[in-house]
């Protein structure tokens, strides 16, 4: 009985270890900033901010406007793909399918600002991003009260 218990534990450990899909090395993210519509002037600052976050927090950052990177072999290298104010139709059908597989396999997605102004004819992406951009509201005045100036997000 004891031998069967140890054999079972060993089998579980082997199974868990062999099923791990952890990427080797530091995490890596892809910042994708292709536009096929309006080009936001804030894109370079957004890319630089992600690069700074990577340097400060131990993850690598690749940047591109080239949609050819949206294939199975390339995407599997990334923990997340960040759509940095992308606009319009930026991926072809094959690239869309590769991105869907990447997300379904556990890859991460971050959409920044105009990422909701992207791929209106691709229903899957619309469900991923949650909503599409309609228009900017007119500028609003606001007063910010920061109660905890030591908290990382408000420091």
Query: Which of 28-42, 78-92, 133-147 is the least confident region?
Result: 133-147
Measure the CA–CA gap between 143 and 139, rounded to whole angstroms: 13
In this structure, what is the dihedral angle of CA atoms 38, 99, 104, 74, given to the nearest 10 degrees?
-130
Residue pLDDT, tens place only, 58-90: 999 999 999 999 999 999 999 999 999 999 999
Mean residue pLDDT of the chain comes to: 88
Given this model, what pLDDT does residue 21 score? Answer: 55
Residue range 109-137: mean pLDDT, rounded: 94
The whole-model pTM stands at 0.78
Q: List CB contacts of 54: < 8 A, sequence separation 6 or more.
A: 29, 60, 61
pLDDT higher than 90, residue 121: yes
Label residue 7 by pLDDT band (50, 70, 90). Answer: very low
pLDDT higher than 50, residue 10: no
pLDDT > 90: percent of the chain: 74
DSSP, residue by residue, 84-153:
ES-EE----HHHHHHHHHHHHTT-EEEEEGGGGEE-TT-HHHHHHH-S----PPPP-------S-TTSTT
pLDDT higher than 70, residue 13: no
More confident residue, 11 or 34: 34
Measure the CA–CA gap between 29 and 62, rounded to whole angstroms: 6
pLDDT higher than 90, residue 111: yes
pLDDT higher than 50, residue 17: no
| Long-range own/partner contacts, residues 98-104 (CB < 8 A, 24 or more apart) | 98/70, 98/71, 98/72, 99/70, 99/75, 100/124, 101/72, 101/75, 102/72, 102/75, 102/76, 102/78, 103/128
Given this model, what pLDDT does residue 33 score? Answer: 98
Residue pLDDT, tens place only, 86-109: 999 999 999 999 999 999 999 999
């Amino acid at each position: 009985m004891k031998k069967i218990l140890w054999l079972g534990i060993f089998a579980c450990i082997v199974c868990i270890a062999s099923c791990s899909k952890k990427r080797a090395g530091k995490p890596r993210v892809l910042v994708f900033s292709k536009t096929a519509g309006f080009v936001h002037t804030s894109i370079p600052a957004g890319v630089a901010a992600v690069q700074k976050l990577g340097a400060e927090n131990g993850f690598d950052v690749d940047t591109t406007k080239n949609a050819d990177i949206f294939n199975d072999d390339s995407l599997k290298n990334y923990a997340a793909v960040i759509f940095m104010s992308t606009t319009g139709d930026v991926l072809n059908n094959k690239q869309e399918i590769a991105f869907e597989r990447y997300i379904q396999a556990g890859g991460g997605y971050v959409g920044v600002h105009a990422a909701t102004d992207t791929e209106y004819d691709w229903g899957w992406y619309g469900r991923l991003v949650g909503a599409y951009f309609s228009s900017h509201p007119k500028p609003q005045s606001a007063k910010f009260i920061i109660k905890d100036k030591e908290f990382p997000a408000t420091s």
